[in-house]
Homo-oligomer: A and B are copies of this chain.
């Protein structure tokens, strides 16, 4: 049964899922591993920030607090932040288009510690948001936002 399923997958589909993502691409116009990692990193932040946005608006009272939506988005962010450490491999150092300050590479332990703070705060946020108290949820949001800011202040060049 499974071999039938395998045959149903075309070569094109298999290539789509493996060629550019496992370091096997060799064509000159393929992105380098560092460029691929930067694209992954930016995509990851984009997905995080998209979900952070409505929580931010609720925490600031710009839109009504919706406990279910807040908890859903907090849960997503908590699932996403643990993916960040992999998005900063050494081969991405110096790749054009990044806002990362180069000094991070000489302060990796501190940077990793700040990433871990974000992971911890976002896990706490998801837990508090699930419990459902509005004031506690907003406070946990600002703790998480501060964890973002602490790292941006030190290692991001444009804010």
* Chain A residues packing against B (C-beta within 8 Å): 2, 5-6, 8-10, 12-14, 16-18, 20-22, 24, 36, 39-40, 42-44, 46-47, 49-54, 56-57, 60, 62-63, 76, 79-80, 83, 135, 138-139, 142-143, 145-146, 148-149, 152, 159
Q: A2-B139, A46-B39, A63-B22 are in contact. Are A13 and B149 (CB under 8 A)?
A: yes
Among A12, A24, A83, A143, max chain B CB count under 10 A is at A83
- Most B CB atoms within 10 A — which of A51, A54, A56, A148? A56
A8 & B139 in contact (Cβ 8 Å cutoff): no
Please state if A50 and B21 are interface contacts (CB–CB under 8 Å): yes
Closest to A21 in B: B53
Nearest B residue (CB) for A75: B79
Q: How many copies of this chain does one complex carry?
A: 2
Other A-B pairs beyond A9-B146, A13-B145, A22-B62, 20, CB < 8 Å: A2-B138, A6-B142, A10-B149, A14-B60, A16-B159, A17-B52, A18-B53, A18-B57, A20-B53, A21-B49, A21-B52, A21-B54, A21-B56, A22-B54, A36-B50, A43-B43, A43-B50, A76-B79, A76-B83, A79-B80
9 nearest A-B residue pairs (beta carbon)? A21-B53, A43-B46, A43-B43, A17-B56, A79-B79, A2-B139, A18-B56, A22-B57, A40-B50
What residues of B have a CB within 8 angstroms of the CB of A79 in the complex?
76, 79-80
CA distance A10 to B62 in the complex (A): 17
Determine the distance from Cα of A42 to Cα of B149 in the docked complex, in whole angstroms. Answer: 25
In contact, B60 and A18 (Cβ under 8 angstroms): yes
